[in-house]
Amino acid sequence: SLSDRLSATFKNLRGKGRLSEADVDATIREIRRALLDADVALPVVRAFTGAVRERALSDEVSQALNPSQQVVKIVNDELVGILGGQTRRIQFAKRPPTVIMLAGLQGAGKTTLAGKLAHWLTSEGHRPMLVACDLQRPNAVNQLQIVGERAGAFVYAPEPGNGVGDPVKVARDAIEVAKTKLHDIVIVDTAGRLGIDEELMRQAADIRAAVNPDEVLFVIDAMIGQDAVTTAQAFNEGVDFTGVVLSKLDGDARGGAALSVASVTGKPIMFASTGEGLTDFETFHPDRMASRILDMGDVLTLIEQAEKTFDAKQTEQLAKKVEKGEDFDLNDFLVQMESIKKMGSLKKMIAMMPGAAQFKEQLEAFDEREIDRVEAIVRSMTPQERANPRILNGSRRARIARGSGRTVTDVNQLMERFEHARKMMRQAASGRGMPQMPGMGG
Ligand code: GDP
Ligand code: MG
């Protein structure tokens, strides 16, 4: 992994002050490879690493970090920045209906997204209407009707059997229908082609001009890889979209398309589609995507740890958190393990706690090295995973197991114990018993 390569390259450089040019270049070579592996387009990689190099040579020097960590931190910050920094929400029209138009290549996931948007907006209290403006593919109207039915949304479609319809007229008529039927949101599904072609662009631009949408969402398949740049540029010029939706992120794609598109268009990525189901859809998170692109959850963890050298304040904060009954997460857990290690033996420490006698047997059986094993697992998680263990699905668990040299069963057992400990902490906080240290057997 990237982190292995980086730590092998930079083992001996810890504690250096300013980065030398050679240090930076060696790190940048690894980053470059990680970006290309993630299918970020080459010109984007070049521009990006150039900017990072400049910043790394001129910039902030943190005493806590070694040179490779410093560069990785800069890379991560820059990635998050290019990916939009913060999440951009849908802009609603001052006077309804809000019109959302979908554009993109055939198979990108527009029609599927139309259903997801309708479903989500309905749950938010809106009355969306879907409009079938893909009159190209024989089955497209029917597909949208099925999607709409599933999402519980009304679908406006041209009468069948009138020859090839005019999608611009359909779109225009649909807005009027929405007004009379009191739909506050109109989602316009359009036709795509397998490749970029002028007629397709013209049709999309004509629809855009006819209905003056509040949002034009460009849907792009995350698996598209190196073609992301040309496709995004063509749609940006041809249709001038306002936001991007990255689809099929449930696949193996490392998400390089996200960086390519954001970088060449400067448009925000707003949503991610993660499956074929109606609810496989989420707000886009730049920080998560940055970690995914670099495949460097563990590197970031190391950086975080290096930066926050353990101090007493943290323990105090943690104690307060537990007292207040706030949720204890795996980031807290890691801090706690650090402090335990600093204090020496866990057994001795627990033995000194009031009520420890009742744990005597468990303490005897407890292997101190268990702490290191547990720590390895937790360190292989990304900060997001630690903050929100619920996102730990099968593939994440497999990755964590690989990263920590443990088995998936070990990861599962740890998570079970963690959840159990969390429950105990809540009880302890409400005065009903003594907290148990997570990570301990039993
Ligand atoms: P359109 O041509 O842009 O309207 O694309 P469709 O919505 O018809 O989707 C094309 C294919 O991709 C369909 O088989 C969808 O089920 C599938 N699809 C769409 N979005 C996703 C996604 O996020 N993940 C996965 N795995 N499949 C998707
Ligand atoms: Mg479609």
Distance 111 CA to ligand 1 centre (A): 7
Q: Quick one: average pLDDT of 58-83?
A: 76
- Residue 345's alpha-carbon distances to 116, 322, 348, in angstroms, are 52, 22, 5
Atom of ligand 1 nearest to the CA of 274: 23
Among the ranges given (172-186, 286-300, 419-433), the one the predictor scored with the smallest mean pLDDT: 419-433
pLDDT bracket for residue 434 (50, 70, 90): very low
Q: What's the pLDDT at 435?
A: 43
Distance 265 CA to ligand 2 centre (A): 23
Q: What are phi and psi of 98, to 5 degrees?
A: -75, 130
Atom of ligand 1 nearest to the CA of 249: 23
Q: What's the pLDDT at 8?
A: 57
Binding residues for GTP: 104-111, 189-193, 247-250
Distance 139 CA to ligand 2 centre (A): 9
Q: What's the pLDDT at 106?
A: 93
pLDDT over 80 at 351, yes or no: no
pLDDT over 60 at 416, yes or no: yes
- Selection from 11, 18, 32 nearest residue 70 by Cα: 18
Give the ligand at the shortest distance from the Cα of 141.
2
Atom of ligand 1 nearest to the CA of 281: 23
Q: What's the pLDDT at 5?
A: 59
Q: Give the residue whose CA is nearest to atom 12 of ligand 1.
A: 109
Q: Quick one: average pLDDT of 137-165?
A: 87
Give the ligand at the shortest distance from the Cα of 276.
1
pTM of the model: 0.68
Distance 274 CA to ligand 1 centre (A): 10
pLDDT bracket for residue 219 (50, 70, 90): very high
- Select the more confidently predicted residue: 198 or 314: 198
Distance 135 CA to ligand 1 centre (A): 18
pLDDT per position as a tens digit, 225-269: 888 999 999 999 999 999 999 999 988 788 889 999 999 999 999
Q: Find all residues with CB under 8 Å of 328, minimum gap 6, and list them.
A: 318, 321, 322, 421, 422, 425
Residue 164 burial (CB count, 10 A): 8
Give the ligand at the shortest distance from the Cα of 112.
1
Share of the chain above pLDDT 90, in %: 41
Q: Quick one: average pLDDT of 126-153?
A: 94
Atom of ligand 1 nearest to the CA of 102: 3
- Which residues surround ligand 1 with Cβ inside 6 Å? 104, 106-112, 192, 247-248, 250, 273-276, 280
- Select the more confidently predicted residue: 127 or 62: 127
- Residue 164's alpha-carbon distances to 135, 158, 173, 200, 337, in angstroms, are 7, 10, 16, 15, 67
Atom of ligand 1 nearest to the CA of 106: 2
Distance 273 CA to ligand 1 centre (A): 9
pLDDT over 60 at 417, yes or no: yes
Binding residues: 104-111, 189-193, 247-250
Q: Quick one: average pLDDT of 64-91?
A: 81
Domains and CATH numbers, the chain: 2-86 (1.20.120.140), 98-284 (3.40.50.300), 310-429 (1.10.260.30)
Q: Best substitution site from 111, 112, 239 to test ligand 1's pocket, by max atoms within 8 Å of Cβ?
A: 112
Strands lying side by side in the sheet with 215-221:
154-156, 128-133, 185-190, 98-103, 215-221, 243-247, 269-273, 281-283
